[in-house]
Structure 1
Amino acid sequence: MASLHDETRSVDGEARAINRRELLQGIAAVGLLVGIPLPAAAQAQQRVRSVQSFQLGIWLHIGADDRATVLLCQSEMGQGVHTILPTLVAEELEMPLERIDVRAAPVDAIYRNTYLVKAMLAGGSPEKLSPTADWLLERMGRLAGQQITGGSSSVRWLFQPLRRAGATARMQLVQAAANAWGVGVQECRAEAGRVLHAASGRGLGYGELAEAAALLPPPADVVLKEPEQWTLLGKPQQRLDTAAKIDGSARFGIDVREPGQLFAVVRFAPQFGARLKKLDGSKAMALPGVKAVVALENGFAVVADSTWRAMSARDTVAAEWGPGAQDLLDTATHWRMYEQSFISAKPDKAVSHGDADKALSNAAAVLDAEYRLPLLAHAALEPMNATVRLGRDGFVDVWAPTQGQDLARKAAADGTGIDADKVRVHTTFLGGGFGRRAEGDFVAVAAQVAKAVPGLPVQVLWPREEDMRNDFYRPASLHKLRVGLDAQGAITAWKQTIACPSIMRRVFPPSRFLGPDETAFEGAHEAAYAIPDLRLDWLPVETPVPVGFWRSVGHSHTAFVKETMIDQAALQAGVDPLAYRMKLLANAPRHQAVLELVAAKAGWSAPLLPGQGRGLALHTSFGAIVAEVVELELDKGQPRLSRITVAADIGRVLNPNIAEAQFSGAVVFALAAALHGEVTLKNGGVVEENFDSYQMPRMADTPPIAVHFIDSSAAPGGAGEPGVPPLAPALANAIQRAGGPRLTRLPILTQMA
């Protein structure tokens, strides 16, 4: 079973993290570093002559036990990267997948997600960069990027590097076998973890060849298999983490148990911006098992010998809070900040081609609309938590379900005052991420608490209420549109202004992030739609509510506006929404193919009874083209969904089972937001505290979901996020076609109450 921890076991059995320097030193003692871009690698190659294993660069290790270990810098949060990414290696290595182990990579700049950095800096399309710009951003990414999992980038980034690692190892192993037998390398082949010589019938396992292969120089030209030669990729493969998640051996952050471990729970100020003024923990300290009451800048934590005792003692602590920045902030005043931006804020021109104002003045008809999309919480199943130990050796160990290892290390360093080079991050499984665990705040809090009990690991848990009230929320957004139509109902002009806070300006200081923030308006302009005159403006909104990356980010709100407005234009023109979109996509055959597939699978043209409706939406994000059809009926004015059909072109589908699961999960995630999702404000803080008020879809709310993929030869696209954006507009369009209201605000059930 794949291991997910970057740790080794010492002779006395104590778990100890390995950093990159120790990793390289350890390998140099038993193997050879091939392909690592460090002078030390070449030096080690000259020193080591007796080896028992084979280390290929930063990704792959082959041991004498005929097993391979893949080092992965991408966090596993249910999206399946700890199966798909090793499959890339196994395919080229000619190694059975069940003989691949997975180990979380240590924190190091070499693992920084340069693809994601380039995507952010290049408007979401790194593949369109010029060679010079690509070279520059690659180096900028190494300096300013992060070791992070997000943006549906894992497979898109590592599709080539991991395949090359597997192919390089295979070629060296085959060469080692040919040398041992004194035959030509062309007479040998790799198969199922062995190298075979057909003429003589001889064979050697990879473990037997590892020592010799480690001493060979890497091949000058690495030959990758063609897709038609694949035996693993493109076919359903069982997840490597399934068994551990069934038998309970999989370790999530909340499962961490280390020798001498203590437990803590937090309570934060009830208002944004409020600070702790006074703290009295004397009653808590008198209770059994309580070890410490720790003051934080905006809250406190109680440390005890069990989570239950810490939580019980927390309720006895007397805390006095200073005033928040917005004591009277509520939902109504929050929206007024957005409205005010249309009066006082200077817009950033995000996208513009043609002359939208002139085209609107000449339009035969103009559609005006205003949309309001609410704040949303992440509400991951596993509450925020991290375990930190300030070791007596001067090192800090962090066990965390994190999407951002660099951020976790920095947060622990800042929280403890210890240099980041002495922080070791152990990445566990994540019980949901959705962008929330790309933040470092929960690690910083755990590090501050751990200072109160030096030498002992302490697991700091945010109870659900603290998790919900102290999120980095999906920004609310206010959209105002004017869409011009000609006499035949075709769109001639599109003018849209979006008021929305900037996520990137919160995450990065101005010196590192300049210009418009694409996360505020990405997806608002669908380049495939043939709209001759378009203008998109963004109004940055200053709000005390902390905002962050939420699954599919800006696409989560812009798709709703765009795709419901397209339906309105089709209705105005008296044209079927499918046919209307097909005409707009006359020059986009991939998009048309996706629409044709979803229409066929959903039975788009089948007759409907009164009160029934089908709604359609199409959206492109994260390298994937996705269309969804929702079918429902209105029962006493409320939608009752009967089925959801998804069609997607995500390029080559590397594991159909995982891809289908990701899209099904994205639909349910989006359904929760569309039907129920809304964070409201009162007295300067968040009202919703748990799943009784921030509801999730029940099984009765969730109809059958059918997912279909285009047989595409394009490069792999994303799968974790692209299924989210089309759901809400498809659902709203279905409600209108069933005779319900036109929805320009979410959540749907609140608007239809």
Structure 2
Amino acid sequence: MDTLQTSRRGFLKSGTGAALSIGFALPLAGLSGRLDAATPFSPNAFLRIGSDGQVTVICGSAEMGQGVLTAIPMLVAEELDADWKTVRVEQAPVDKAYNNPMFQMQATGGSTTVRAFWEPMRQAGAAAREMLVAAAAAQWKVPAAECRTEAGQVIHKSGKKLGYGTLTAAAAQLPVPATPVLKDPKDFRILGKRTRRLDTPGKLNGSAKYGIDAQVPGMLVAVMARAPQPGAKPAKVDDSKAKAVKGVRQVITIPSGVAVLADGYWAAKKGRDALAIDWDLGAAKDLSSAKVSAMLAEGAGEPDAVAVDLGNTKDAAATGAKSVDATYEAPYLAHACMEPMNCTAWVQGDSVEIWVGTQSQGPNQGILSQVASVTPAKVKVNTLMLGGGFGRRFAPDFTIDATLLSKISGKPVKLIYSREDDMAAGFFRPASVTKFEAVLDSQGRPTMLKAGVGSPSIMAASGFMKIPDNGVDTFAMEGIADHPYDIANQRLAYGRKEPGPQVWFWRSVGHSQNIFFIESFIDELAAAARQDPYEYRRALLGKQPRYRGVLELAAQKAGWGSPLPAGVFRGIAVAQSFGSYVAEVAEVSIGADGTPKVHRVVAAVDCGMTVNPMTIERQIEGAIVYGLSAALYGRISFKDGRVEQGNFNDYPVLRMNEMPKVEVHIVPSTEKPGGIGEPGTPPIAPAVANAIFAATAKRLRSLPFDTAQLKKA
């Protein structure tokens, strides 16, 4: 058995491994010229126009269902004044030209693609349009000011027209404008319009390729017995039965586990299942969910890193008319992507090529150059579609392992995690405990709010972020530290605790649990004040017009205050995340066995200026499914150092028959664009929890919802 010896976490942080701590700072390959030297008109890295008028937009972001392969072309095509029927899209190679301006690296996450590329893509299209106009004006010998563009043509005021394809050779000889003039949004013809996605036909006819579809001649398939916890090591490995499985070629130990390489997936899986491994879990051997909860509760009770300190909470507490306190908890969560993690890698001499669905192409180039001891320029990343990302595919573990296995075996290797593999040894949304204290005045208005958050640090776990000097992990506190409510005296603090499991970014990151906490607690304050929860929020949002705008719209569209069918009750919540504002109203009934049924969700969204309303609606719908699955079912628990869940039988997701009717209402806005992939997730859990309270007078303060508390006697 081949073995590479070092600790899993040590390898990730070392200079010889796939250092998360340094990988994102590595230089990327430089732009080596236009993407296609034979193309007559390629004024920048994002755009090609052929002599046939075909417009090709090159997208540097990864497509994981969020619609970037349509949004990016729409941004370019709008300013280009292209005929949308002529527009196609290609996935970009890894190159610093495609760096996300908000990340300063080529990566996709944080609902940033449209926010980051709103101006750069429009400028790319506008520059090309000005060059085409200049080429046409020169041919006609008229001033450029006498020309306009529309649907892939330059049109002179006399009525003469030239298609873009006939102008490409001449336009290619002109200088590229440094500061092209962008359209006034009132003149948009493509942006803001419902547009069918460019990637849909390929998904329907099977031509779209996901990471798991990659095929390389002569490749082996690898399945791993992964280390159950960071730092765990195989104390003893018996691979004799694994090697006896027909089709198994090699068994290799690397820092993250023991891999079986075979001619196909089934042989590799049978070989992996035949391995006999005694794991040394080290300090994690006694890890349990009860110990995690106790540790995080300690952090929440004694938070020492202050994020917000306003007014005088001590005096406010002494003079209040009523006090309210509550403790909330959320568990670790898996990402549960429909396409499990996979990567195909081929290390040949001084070069590496991978085929993968990844959210972090640029960082992977730097990381894998160190894994394989080659220069970054010798690492080629073929970005394929992602069958779900949710932050999980930002991590490089599966690309690291595939590259290591190819390097050691000397063969191209496709590494595939089974569902159980990823669930049990994956990267989890942090568990968290938050303790609230509030004081109300005689009118029920809060005059003091204290919150202590106990949680692991994603910033520390990432390896490429530094916790600020005040000790506050931004992700652990987001949604609480920046809550919108007008409360004069506040102390909001963080108590870092590290139970041991690897934590990572999960759809909407800290907002996913913190909005449940704060929006449920605000509902508690409304109940203590004997006031309507919608009106109570509205009164506290006088200084927050965008929060208040979506809150009012959601309430109006849901018919807040109007009669509902017998046994159905409403709950409401509002949140801002990733630059967008979302309010949701959930209509819920409770079955005799205590099971909540969500009948309808009404969402109001203010995401600034929009690209594709159809995508916005679908992203909010998908975010609600994701958040509702977590609220009703999601939980990763530990016993004796190991994860207890393995697949959708014990980590359920929302089924089709459980799906509520969802209505999405978009606020017209001239504000700069916000994100849309994540902001729909945070409000759903508190909206449902608040509806459950309206139905039962029982406050559920932990996720997933404990339906036993709601069971009718």
TM-score in same-fold range (> 0.5)? yes
Aligned to 2:514: 558
Q: Take 1:25 and 1:620, find their aligned partners in 2: how far apart are those partners?
A: 40
1:169 to 1:664, Cα distance in 2 relative to 1, 3 A: same
Asked whether 1:152 is paired with 2:111, we answer yes
Aligned to 1:614: 570
* Secondary structure class of the residue paired with 1:544: coil
Aligned to 2:423: 468
* Secondary structure class of the residue paired with 1:564: helix
**What is the CA-CA distance between 1:627 and the residue it aligns to?**
0.6
**What is the CA-CA distance between 1:25 and the residue it aligns to?**
6.5
1:180-229 deviation per Cα after TM superposition (whole angstroms, max 9, x unaligned)? 12122122222222223342x54333222122112111235422112221
1:291-370 → structure 2 map (5 Å cutoff): 291-341=249-299, 347-370=304-327
2:139 to 165, 170, 180: 180
Aligned to 1:673: 630
**What is the CA-CA distance between 1:364 and the residue it aligns to?**
0.6
1:171 to 102, 115, 130: 130
- What amino acid sits opposite 1:387 in the alignment? T
Aligned to 2:659: 702
* Secondary structure class of the residue paired with 1:312: helix
2:675 to 686, 701, 718: 718
* Secondary structure class of the residue paired with 1:645: strand
Aligned to 2:343: 386
- What amino acid sits opposite 1:458 in the alignment? V
- What amino acid sits opposite 2:245 in the alignment? L
Query: Which region of structure 1 is more displaced relative to structure 2, 304-313 or 662-671?
Result: 304-313
1:586 to 1:558, Cα distance in 2 relative to 1, 3 A: same
Aligned to 2:555: 599
Aligned to 2:13: none
1:534-566 deviation per Cα after TM superposition (whole angstroms, max 9, x unaligned)? 110001112211101011111111111111111
**What is the CA-CA distance between 1:510 and the residue it aligns to?**
7.5
* Secondary structure class of the residue paired with 2:33: helix
- Checking the alignment, whether the CA contact within 8 Å between 1:276 and 1:298 is kept in structure 2 is no
**What is the CA-CA distance between 1:656 and the residue it aligns to?**
0.9
- Checking the alignment, whether the CA contact within 8 Å between 1:86 and 1:102 is kept in structure 2 is yes
Q: Take 1:615 and 1:463, find their aligned partners in 2: how far apart are those partners?
A: 38
Q: Take 2:101 and 2:584, find their aligned partners in 1: how far apart are those partners?
A: 31
- Checking the alignment, whether the CA contact within 8 Å between 2:100 and 2:117 is kept in structure 1 is no
- Checking the alignment, whether the CA contact within 8 Å between 1:676 and 1:749 is kept in structure 2 is no
Asked whether 1:195 is paired with 2:154, we answer yes
Asked whether 1:101 is paired with 2:88, we answer yes
**What is the CA-CA distance between 1:262 and the residue it aligns to?**
2.3
**What is the CA-CA distance between 1:237 and the residue it aligns to?**
0.5
Q: Take 1:346 and 1:644, find their aligned partners in 2: how far apart are those partners?
A: 36
Aligned to 2:367: 411
What TM-score does the superposition give when structure 2 sets the normalisation length?
Answer: 0.92
**What is the CA-CA distance between 1:630 and the residue it aligns to?**
0.6
Q: Take 1:362 and 1:90, find their aligned partners in 2: how far apart are those partners?
A: 60
- Checking the alignment, whether the CA contact within 8 Å between 1:76 and 1:430 is kept in structure 2 is yes
Q: Take 1:514 and 1:549, find their aligned partners in 2: how far apart are those partners?
A: 22
- Checking the alignment, whether the CA contact within 8 Å between 2:238 and 2:276 is kept in structure 1 is yes
**What is the CA-CA distance between 1:65 and the residue it aligns to?**
3.2
Aligned to 2:434: 479
**What is the CA-CA distance between 1:272 and the residue it aligns to?**
4.2
1:582 to 1:66, Cα distance in 2 relative to 1, 3 A: same
Q: Take 2:407 and 2:61, find their aligned partners in 1: how far apart are those partners?
A: 29
Aligned to 1:132: none
* Secondary structure class of the residue paired with 1:114: coil
- What amino acid sits opposite 1:668 in the alignment? V
1:546 to 502, 511, 533: 502
**What is the CA-CA distance between 1:511 and the residue it aligns to?**
6.2
* Secondary structure class of the residue paired with 1:325: helix
1:367-516 → structure 2 map (5 Å cutoff): 367-392=324-349, 394-454=350-410, 456-508=411-463, 514-515=469-470, 516=472
1:370 to 1:692, Cα distance in 2 relative to 1, 3 A: same
Q: Take 1:172 and 1:164, find their aligned partners in 2: how far apart are those partners?
A: 12
Query: Which region of structure 1 is more displaced relative to structure 2, 152-161 or 585-594?
Result: 585-594
- Checking the alignment, whether the CA contact within 8 Å between 1:265 and 1:311 is kept in structure 2 is yes
Q: Take 1:633 and 1:733, find their aligned partners in 2: how far apart are those partners?
A: 12
Aligned to 2:64: 77
Greater relative contact order (CA < 8 Å, ≥ 6 in sequence): 2
**What is the CA-CA distance between 1:509 and the residue it aligns to?**
6.0
Q: Percent identity?
A: 43
Aligned to 2:33: 24
Q: Take 2:319 and 2:211, find their aligned partners in 1: how far apart are those partners?
A: 59
Query: Which region of structure 1 is more displaced relative to structure 2, 70-79 or 279-288?
Result: 279-288
* Secondary structure class of the residue paired with 1:719: coil
- What amino acid sits opposite 2:689 in the alignment? A
1:280-299 → structure 2 map (5 Å cutoff): 280-299=238-257
**What is the CA-CA distance between 1:69 and the residue it aligns to?**
2.1
- What amino acid sits opposite 1:168 in the alignment? A
* Secondary structure class of the residue paired with 1:738: helix
What TM-score does the superposition give when structure 1 sets the normalisation length?
Answer: 0.87
- Checking the alignment, whether the CA contact within 8 Å between 2:84 and 2:151 is kept in structure 1 is no
**What is the CA-CA distance between 1:99 and the residue it aligns to?**
2.1
**What is the CA-CA distance between 1:475 and the residue it aligns to?**
0.6
Q: Take 1:634 and 1:360, find their aligned partners in 2: how far apart are those partners?
A: 37
Aligned to 1:33: none
1:691-718 deviation per Cα after TM superposition (whole angstroms, max 9, x unaligned)? 0000001122211111111111211111
- Checking the alignment, whether the CA contact within 8 Å between 2:245 and 2:270 is kept in structure 1 is no
1:243 to 1:548, Cα distance in 2 relative to 1, 3 A: same
Q: Take 1:440 and 1:749, find their aligned partners in 2: how far apart are those partners?
A: 35
Q: Take 2:298 and 2:404, find their aligned partners in 1: how far apart are those partners?
A: 39
Q: Take 1:395 and 1:525, find their aligned partners in 2: how far apart are those partners?
A: 46
- What amino acid sits opposite 1:294 in the alignment? I
* Secondary structure class of the residue paired with 1:711: coil
Q: Take 1:585 and 1:85, find their aligned partners in 2: how far apart are those partners?
A: 35
1:36-78 deviation per Cα after TM superposition (whole angstroms, max 9, x unaligned)? xxxxxxxxxxxxxxxx522222322222232222222211100
**What is the CA-CA distance between 1:526 and the residue it aligns to?**
4.5
- Checking the alignment, whether the CA contact within 8 Å between 1:234 and 1:654 is kept in structure 2 is yes
**What is the CA-CA distance between 1:740 and the residue it aligns to?**
4.5
Query: Which region of structure 1 is more displaced relative to structure 2, 151-160 or 255-264?
Result: 255-264
- Checking the alignment, whether the CA contact within 8 Å between 1:91 and 1:233 is kept in structure 2 is yes
1:312 to 1:494, Cα distance in 2 relative to 1, 3 A: same
1:628 to 1:472, Cα distance in 2 relative to 1, 3 A: same
1:417-461 deviation per Cα after TM superposition (whole angstroms, max 9, x unaligned)? 33322111111100000011111111001111112332x422100
1:205 to 1:346, Cα distance in 2 relative to 1, 3 A: same
- Checking the alignment, whether the CA contact within 8 Å between 1:634 and 1:740 is kept in structure 2 is no
Aligned to 2:22: none
Q: Take 2:657 and 2:382, find their aligned partners in 1: how far apart are those partners?
A: 39
**What is the CA-CA distance between 1:527 and the residue it aligns to?**
4.8
Q: Take 1:146 and 1:174, find their aligned partners in 2: how far apart are those partners?
A: 33
- Checking the alignment, whether the CA contact within 8 Å between 2:299 and 2:497 is kept in structure 1 is yes
- What amino acid sits opposite 1:341 in the alignment? G
- What amino acid sits opposite 2:130 in the alignment? M
- What amino acid sits opposite 1:659 in the alignment? I
Q: Take 1:467 and 1:407, find their aligned partners in 2: how far apart are those partners?
A: 21
* Secondary structure class of the residue paired with 2:555: helix
- Checking the alignment, whether the CA contact within 8 Å between 1:293 and 1:303 is kept in structure 2 is yes
Query: Which region of structure 1 is more displaced relative to structure 2, 492-501 or 508-517?
Result: 508-517
2:526 to 570, 574, 583: 570
**What is the CA-CA distance between 1:295 and the residue it aligns to?**
1.2
- What amino acid sits opposite 1:521 in the alignment? M
Aligned to 1:219: 177
Asked whether 1:114 is paired with 2:98, we answer no
Aligned to 2:16: none
